[in-house]
Amino acid sequence: MTYKTHFIGGICAAALTSTIMPVESVVLTTVVSAVSALVPDLDIEDSKLGRKAGVVSKGISRAFGHRGFFHTPILYIVIYILMNMFLPKFLSLGFLIGTMSHLVLDSFNYKGIMWLYPLTKRHYHIASIKTRGFGETMFLIAMVGLSVYAFVKVGVATEPMNFDVNTLKNTFSVVVEDVKTLSSNVVEEVKVNLMK
Ligand SMILES: [Zn+2]
């Protein structure tokens, strides 16, 4: 996946989870998430962030290789816990959402990532979308649409909310329901128009 896809992925993930963020920090958390979504690819020297990070990226890629330890959930969960202790919530939460979105997106590529590291070094993937291929473009478009939709629909809550699994579940079910309704409406419209 290209850095653009990951950047948009970070925004999309933040949009979908925005109800768990304090209202006043939705924008900041989203920005942190979008930038953090580029972090795992620091293990590629010639990635967007890798080139900027120069010697740091070189060290990481030499030490861990691409899609190695720098692409494992355990690493980012530990960093999140540490950040959460010392830094403002928008930084730690944005970082977690962004890096996790990266790992989820990379799982749509045949190389997969080591989800269960250190239990096993096996790479898991759920699809085989090619980088820079048609599939990735479709993904990008879908994520832009979903982000706009989620932000408009549920993103900006009227009151600050704390982390709550039920809120997160409700957000997803509302989005899923609405996407279902929207798509069935589109199908209906196409049918009606074809009958004419
Ligand atoms: Zn990656």
Range of the domain at 166: 3-195
- Give the model's pLDDT for residue 86: 94
Q: How far is the CA of 40 from the centre of ligand 1 (A)?
A: 6
pLDDT in tens, 34-74: 999 999 999 998 888 888 888 988 998 888 888 999 999 99
Q: How far is the CA of 85 from the centre of ligand 1 (A)?
A: 27
Q: 158: pLDDT confidence band, cut at 50, 70 and 90? A: very low
Q: How far is the CA of 159 from the centre of ligand 1 (A)?
A: 35
123 phi-psi bin (left φ>0, alpha ψ -120 to 50, beta other): beta
The DSSP secondary-structure symbol of 6 reads H
- Give the model's pLDDT for residue 196: 67
Instruction: Give the total number of structural domains in the chain.
Output: 1
Q: How far is the CA of 118 from the centre of ligand 1 (A)?
A: 18
The three-class DSSP label of residue 113 is strand
